[in-house]
Homo-oligomer: A and B are copies of this chain.
Amino acid sequence: MDDNNFELWSRSVGGKPSHFAAGQTIFAETEHGVHAYIVRSGSVEILIDGRVVETIGPNGIFGEMALIDGGPRSATARATTACELAPIDQRMFGLMVDEAPYFALNVMRLMASRLRRKHD
Point out residues on A near B: beta carbons under 8 Å.
Answer: 3, 48, 65, 68-69, 71, 74-75, 94, 97-98, 101, 104-105, 107-109, 111-116, 118-119
Q: Which residue of B lies closest to A117 (CB)?
A: B118
Identical copies in the complex: 2
Q: Known A104-B101, A108-B108, A111-B111; judge A3-B69 contact (CB<8 A).
A: yes
For the complex formed, measure the closest distance between the CB of A102 and the CB atoms of chain B, giving whole angstroms: 9
Q: Which residue of B lies closest to A29 (CB)?
A: B119
Tell me, in angstroms, the Cα distance from A68 to B105 when the chains sit together. Answer: 7
Q: Which residue of B lies closest to A109 (CB)?
A: B69
- The one of B74, B98, B112, B119 in contact with A48, judged by C-beta atoms closer than 8 angstroms, is B119
